[in-house]
Amino acid sequence: MTSAMQLQELASTHLTDAVVVSTIFTLYNIYTGDIADPLAISTDFILYFIAIFVGFVVITPILDRVFGSDTT
């Protein structure tokens, strides 16, 4: 099982990645005209951020366990 210290390290490592990727996805949706109003923009950003951040934090320990921590 992953300890609390490892989870804090994963969170701090992937937080900036999740923010950058969420920003890119949201800006792309604005550019293509899929979303226009501020509520939709902020909702999309928050949902992208949560999904990507949880994905990083959940998948990293699984990959570490399957392939060993040297390869991930």
- SS in 3 state form for 3-24? CHHHHHHHHHHHHHHHHHHHHH
CA distances to 37, 47, 57 from 22, in Å: 17, 8, 15
Q: Would you state the pLDDT for residue 52? A: 92
The whole-angstrom separation of Cα 27 and Cα 35 is 10
pLDDT digits (tens, 9 = 90+) for 13-59: 888 889 999 999 999 988 998 788 899 999 999 999 999 998 888 88
Tell me how many helices (H) and strands (E) the chain has. Answer: 2, 0
Indicate the pTM of the whole model. 0.74
Q: Would you state the pLDDT for residue 71? A: 52
